[in-house]
Structure 1
Amino acid sequence: MDISELAQLAQEAWFRGLAAGGFAQVSVGGGFAVSTGLDSNTENGAVVTPSVLRSPHELDVLLDWLREKAVPASVLVTGPPDPEATARLIDRGLVPERTGNNMGRVLTGAENLPASQWQISEVLDVPALRENQRVYADDGWWDEPGGLDDQVEVAARLGFGPGRPIRHWTARHQGVAVGAATSFQFGDAVLLVHCCVAAPWRRRGIGAALTRVRLAAAAGRGAVQAVLFPSPDGYQLHHSLGFELAPVRPDRCFYLY
């Protein structure tokens, strides 16, 4: 498994999923841009082929459209760009990703799901989705007014639940939500999108339990590999679960602030 290539494909598939969800978008030649309006470069961006990078007009159509949205965005290049194309993006104010890391591992059929002291349940309706997303809000993931409402609206619009590409899980202790996690299945792989454990409940195995649930669910639907974009804290957790670290492929992802 080429972890970094799989991570690139995961990001591209995520943007295509946003476009399929009917969010604002524009297409030109071999590329498209999509925006949910959320303040996140993983929820707004473009997927372009190297041929688009060689066409200044097509490239500017996508970049100008993203800038009009006034939110952070990512531009993903589907193949290795040549130095001239990379320079064109940098000249337009984009910042290349060259130092990050990805993590991945092979799934072994029906993943083990050991007994857990935590009550973990899949999100099946919008009220449960709001409870799930509030775990992130209470941890300070979204500072802007109405951030929770916006996140719930986007997540509900994309769809979720068993049999869908996007699935959410909530961990509870005595009925109180203390952890939340999301997965996105694409092809024969799964992207572990988000995971958050409330501060007082960290270092107790909740994050590991949420990860195991997501891996088992993905394996049950035919996934054979998993990938994620680790935080510093997330590295230790996922390394303990068999994930390997790999550097990003340079100049395949660019950030527009």
Structure 2
Amino acid sequence: MTQLYIQRTTETARPCRCDNCGWTGTEDDVNAISDAQERLEAGGTVPAGECPEDDCGALAYIVTPEPEAPRLTVADLVAREVVYCVSTLVYDATSHAQVHTWDDNEEDARIDLWTPMPDYDEACAENDITLIEVGADEWTWTGPGGREGATWDTKQEAAIGALEACRVDVSEYSGEVYEHWIVSEWFADKLEAAGERVVRDWHGLTIWARTTTGQAIYMDSVVQSIHADLFRNTAVEG
């Protein structure tokens, strides 16, 4: 009886499977192949060995892992979700307020396009306000002098409630809008959740009021954070 031993070429034993009985294991577990000359085909796939299961004896082969899907980079995310720069359009359309009659919604949108969201985290930190997550979708706060607040659904709502209760002028913690970009609805949701200013349905467009300039969008900390959360959530779901 001719026996064949397959020489391993890697330090780590690779996973193997027997398609006959369903056995799975590694290269270390298989047996030598009996009657190798009769059982192996010239030019065929070389088996790892013979299945070690009793009453089987079929050939077991190395399992080739499926190639991983290419990971979406931050630049890829921006290319997919950020559509077009409309800074000039927004400037031209909103700088003629004196010669146009604006309805209330249009006036609110015009103001919002140039008013960034305050940095609530910074405002709370500098005014001795601590935001506390007390459960799923439950946030509260404590402030100067042992003050305590109500429970809110989101961290941002808790921060706003705390700052209003402590009479903090949040306008002091706002930056400046430098650019305007059309973004997807999905990305708009993510930006808003991260505390960015988004104006929806402005002449049919969803506009992100960007507070950074002079660098690629994928370098913005808020965009980096959205990308990181995307893959963190994917890993948890998987």
Higher strand share: 1
| TM-score, normalised by the number of residues in structure 2 | 0.20
Point out the structure with max Rg over C-alpha. Answer: 2
| TM-score, normalised by the number of residues in structure 1 | 0.19
Q: Which has the higher contact order (CA 8 A, sep 6+)?
A: 1
